[in-house]
């Protein structure tokens, strides 16, 4: 009689061991990506995933959802990744490297920073009215830098930067 109560546990353990066939691999960074893109990246890496979140009706159109967090973090080894999704991520989840916007028109730089969910402040000697007539001459943090709880500072000049004339 004792063996009858242990047998189901042994069978369950064997089944679970057989289902965990995925090998631990390096986890790529997918936080901040659209869900459909993140899932494709994980599929290509041979990793499983579980989607957490999705609201009342769940995830219907994957491209409308963003991965706000991933567990484990990028660079760790795992066989599966948890993806925490939302329609748009709070700023604390979108810590990313700052793109290089120096030399761009102000309107294009603002569009790029907005697309990445980064806040910014524009510094200019005069009032900026027509944004396409202004050029980003410098930025802080530098390209590739990290933004946590601060905004990107853009230093702009009308039409072109003074330093461009010095390098001719």
Does one domain contain both 64 and 111?
Answer: no
Question: In this predicted structure, what is the pLDDT of residue 32?
Answer: 86
The CATH number assigned to the domain holding 44 equals 3.30.10.20
What is the pLDDT averaged over residues 117-136? 89
The token pair that represents 45 in the structure block: 């890496």
Please indicate, yes or no, if residue 127 is contained in any of the structural domains: yes
Domain of 148 in residue numbering reads as 95-166
Q: Are the C-beta atoms of 125 and 94 separated by less than 8 Å?
A: no
Q: How confident is the model at residue 91 (pLDDT cuts 50, 70, 90)?
A: low
Residues written for the chain: 168
Per-residue DSSP letters for 90-121?
A: -GGG---BPP--TTSBHHHHHHHHHHTT--EE
Q: What's the domain count of the chain?
A: 2
Q: Is the peptide bond before 155 cis (omega within 30 degrees of 0)?
A: no
The token pair that represents 41 in the structure block: 């990246």
Whole-number mean pLDDT of the chain?
79
The token pair that represents 67 in the structure block: 């991965």
Question: In this predicted structure, what is the pLDDT of residue 143?
Answer: 83
Does one domain contain both 148 and 132?
Answer: yes
What pTM was estimated for this model as a whole?
Answer: 0.45
Strands 77-78 and 25-26: antiparallel
Query: CA quadruple 84, 89, 93, 94: dihedral positive or negative?
Result: positive
Measuring CA to CA, which residue among 61, 30, 32, 33 is closest to residue 48? Answer: 30
Please indicate, yes or no, if residue 99 is contained in any of the structural domains: yes
């Amino acid at each position: 009689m004792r063996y009858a109560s242990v047998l189901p546990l042994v069978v369950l353990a064997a089944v679970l061991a057989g289902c965990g066939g995925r090998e631990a691999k390096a986890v790529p960074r997918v936080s901040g990506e659209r869900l459909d893109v993140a899932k494709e990246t994980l599929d290509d890496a041979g990793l499983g995933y579980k989607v957490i979140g999705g609201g009342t009706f769940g995830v219907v159109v994957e491209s409308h959802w963003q991965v706000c967090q991933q567990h484990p973090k990028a660079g760790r080894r795992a066989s599966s990744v948890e993806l925490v999704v939302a329609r748009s991520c709070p700023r604390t989840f979108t810590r990313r490297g700052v793109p290089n916007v120096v030399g761009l028109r102000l309107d294009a730089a603002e569009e790029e920073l907005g697309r990445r969910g980064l806040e910014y402040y524009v510094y200019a000697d005069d009032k900026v009215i027509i944004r396409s007539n202004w050029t980003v001459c410098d930025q802080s943090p530098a390209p590739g830098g990290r933004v946590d709880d601060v905004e990107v500072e853009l230093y702009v000049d009308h039409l072109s930067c003074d330093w461009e004339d010095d390098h001719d």
